[in-house]
Amino acid sequence: MVSAEVSLRELGIQLPQAPKPFGAYVEAVQTGNLLFLTGMLPVVNQKPKFVGRVGKELDGAAGREAAGLAALNALAVAKERLGSLDKVSRVVRLGVYIATSGDLIDQPGIADGASELFNQVFGPKKVSARLVMGVARLPMDMPIELEVILETKP
Amino acid sequence: MVSAEVSLRELGIQLPQAPKPFGAYVEAVQTGNLLFLTGMLPVVNQKPKFVGRVGKELDGAAGREAAGLAALNALAVAKERLGSLDKVSRVVRLGVYIATSGDLIDQPGIADGASELFNQVFGPKKVSARLVMGVARLPMDMPIELEVILETKP
Amino acid sequence: MVSAEVSLRELGIQLPQAPKPFGAYVEAVQTGNLLFLTGMLPVVNQKPKFVGRVGKELDGAAGREAAGLAALNALAVAKERLGSLDKVSRVVRLGVYIATSGDLIDQPGIADGASELFNQVFGPKKVSARLVMGVARLPMDMPIELEVILETKP
């Protein structure tokens, strides 16, 4: 089995500080062996790093990069909660919500910005099911929000 | 541990009748110790109490109030299904979908209208993970729909 | 108990080939006794069979038909993964995401196009909880995407 912690080091990825809630909720809830994360956004130090809708104020490349940053934040939250990413036995589902004013954009390609980071870190046996859609607007006008459900080892 | 039933009485909250389905589904499904609720809407007696999109036909205060009403309906469905809200061991995830025509609005603040009711009733140990987003239109033109997953005691 | 495989035959329904991923994900992930499917789209042979938004480029009848087709693809994915639909003990949750430019449309009626197929196949004891909403745009400009969580027998 691939070790996610070893993969992180080999990829030269340094996890950021896990984001903190913007409201009356927590960043992750464990129930049984499922870990539900809060919607992950492309923030750095609690501030939006990307602002605007994909296909309108931002192009697809920025959307894809924002998806990768949100995925990185998801890894940071999971690590903070579990102690080690090697406790993740599977990415169950990844939802990628893309802010759009209704323009036609390559939604699967943008979502791959998140999926590919997860796949590099967790390896090919832990690839998720996925939901992708374009929504009207996201918190603080960010372009991407991720829904993440992880399966954890006992 | 906080008793949700005691909290309800202390807060002077009377639960409404649980909403009934508008289509070919049920209001709640239990699987293992997870209770998945149907999307909860701001209805009273099966009729929309709030109509329109937040930032367009409705302002943020109305959106926040609608979120609270939808959360109250969620409590009513959970109580009807479980017999007592003290059977809820955790709010696992709360999704707050806000109807918008794309305007910039305080999405986390509106979502807190639902989160704060749950937190008052269930107490600080049972706070949920959360998804918040602005969507293009909701059933019967209502401004808010909630996704709710609860963890229940065996 | 109703046998889903018998129901399929009695209804004269032939399952299509299960869709393949359009990106870096898989079509279904099992965790414990829950099977999470990828967002199911109205495709035939990997090509969109319906294109456009409901209430704009497409009418409600097309939206309803597209929801039925996406549900049929969900059955095909579940069958491929589980070997038999009789392994499904319950449809836990069905999410119906409808692409719209914000027009007022009969969202519950459109969603019933998916729910009714599931209810015919799985019978009245396995009816799901449901989320329905109108979103700004879906992958490859398709009108419907389904979120499906199934409970499976051990």
Work out the angle at residue C2's Cα, subtended by the Cα atoms of residues C1 and C4, and round it to the nearest 5 degrees: 135
Residue C1 has pLDDT above 80, yes or no: no
- Residue C139's pLDDT is what? 97
Cα separation, B57 vs C46, whole angstroms: 40
- Whether residues C33 and B32 touch (CB distance < 8 A) is answered with yes
Which strands make up the sheet holding A129-135, listed edge to edge? A28-31, A34-37, A144-152, A88-99, A129-135
pLDDT in tens, A2-21: 899 999 999 999 999 999 99
% of chain C with per-residue pLDDT over 90: 95
- Residue B14's pLDDT is what? 96
Cα separation, B138 vs B97, whole angstroms: 8
- Residue B140's pLDDT is what? 97
Cα separation, B131 vs B107, whole angstroms: 10
Q: Does B22 touch chain C (CB under 8 A)?
A: yes
- Residue C26's pLDDT is what? 97
Residue A1 has pLDDT above 90, yes or no: no
- Whether residues A23 and B111 touch (CB distance < 8 A) is answered with yes
Chain B nearest-CA residue for C99: B136
Cα separation, A138 vs A97, whole angstroms: 8
Residue C5 has pLDDT above 90, yes or no: yes
For residues A85, A19, B125, A38, the Cα torsion angle rounded to the nearest 10 degrees is -80
Q: What is the mean pLDDT of residues A118-132?
A: 96
ipTM for the whole predicted complex goes beyond 0.90? yes
Backbone φ and ψ for C115, nearest 5 degrees, come out as: -60, -40
pLDDT band at C60 (very low <50, low <70, confident <90, very high): very high
- Beta-strand ranges (E) seen in chain A are 28-31, 34-37, 43-44, 47-48, 88-99, 129-135, 144-152
Nearest Cβ partner of C102 from B27, B101, B145?
A: B101
Q: Does B7 touch chain A (CB under 8 A)?
A: no
pLDDT in tens, B89-140: 999 999 999 999 999 999 999 999 999 999 999 999 999 999 999 999 999 9
Nearest Cβ partner of A29 from B108, B128, B136?
A: B128
pTM: 0.98
The CA-atom distances, in angstroms, between A137 and each of A46, A73, A134 are 19, 20, 9
Q: What is the mean pLDDT of residues A74-103?
A: 98
% of chain C with per-residue pLDDT over 70: 100
Q: What is the mean pLDDT of residues B2-9?
A: 95
Nearest Cβ partner of A115 from C25, C31, C141?
A: C25
Q: What is the mean pLDDT of residues B11-25?
A: 95
- Residue A11's pLDDT is what? 97
Q: In Å, how far is C84's CA from the nearest CA of chain B?
A: 20
- Residue C33's pLDDT is what? 97
Cα separation, A139 vs A145, whole angstroms: 8
List the alpha helices (DSSP H) in chain A: 4-10, 60-82, 107-122
Q: What is the mean pLDDT of residues B40-68?
A: 98
Residues of A in contact with C19 (CB under 8 A): none
Q: What is the mean pLDDT of residues C7-34?
A: 96
pLDDT band at C99 (very low <50, low <70, confident <90, very high): very high
SS3 B101: coil
Backbone φ and ψ for B138, nearest 5 degrees, come out as: -120, 165
pLDDT band at B2 (very low <50, low <70, confident <90, very high): confident
Q: Which CATH number fits domain C4-11+29-152: 3.10.450.50, 3.40.50.2300, 3.30.1330.40, 3.10.20.600?
A: 3.30.1330.40
Residues of B in contact with A51 (CB under 8 A): none
Average per-residue pLDDT for chain C: 97
- Residue A2's pLDDT is what? 81
pLDDT in tens, C61-98: 999 999 999 999 999 999 999 999 999 999 999 999 99
The CB density around residue C20, as the number of other CB atoms within 10 Å, is 11
Residue C2 has pLDDT above 90, yes or no: no
Residue A146 has pLDDT above 90, yes or no: yes
Residue C12 has pLDDT above 90, yes or no: yes
% of chain A with per-residue pLDDT over 70: 100
- Residue A118's pLDDT is what? 98
Q: To 10 degrees, what angle do helices B60-82 and B107-122 make?
A: 30
Query: What letters, b where the CB count within 10 A reaches 16 and e where it falls short, cover A105-140?
Result: bbbbbbbbbbbbbbbbbbeeebbbbbbbbbbbbbbe
Average per-residue pLDDT for chain A: 97
Give chain C's radius of gyration (CA, Å). 15
Instruction: Of C2, C68, C76, C90, give the one whose Cα is nearest residue C38.
Output: C76
Residue A106 has pLDDT above 90, yes or no: yes
Residues of B in contact with C119 (CB under 8 A): 24
Q: In Å, how far is B10's CA from the nearest CA of chain C?
A: 31
Q: Which CATH number fits domain A31-152: 3.90.1010.20, 3.10.450.350, 3.40.190.290, 3.30.1330.40?
A: 3.30.1330.40
Instruction: Of A95, A135, A13, A112, give the one whose Cα is nearest residue A60.
Output: A112
Q: What is the mean pLDDT of residues A17-38?
A: 96
Considering only the top CATH level, what class is B4-11+26-152?
alpha beta
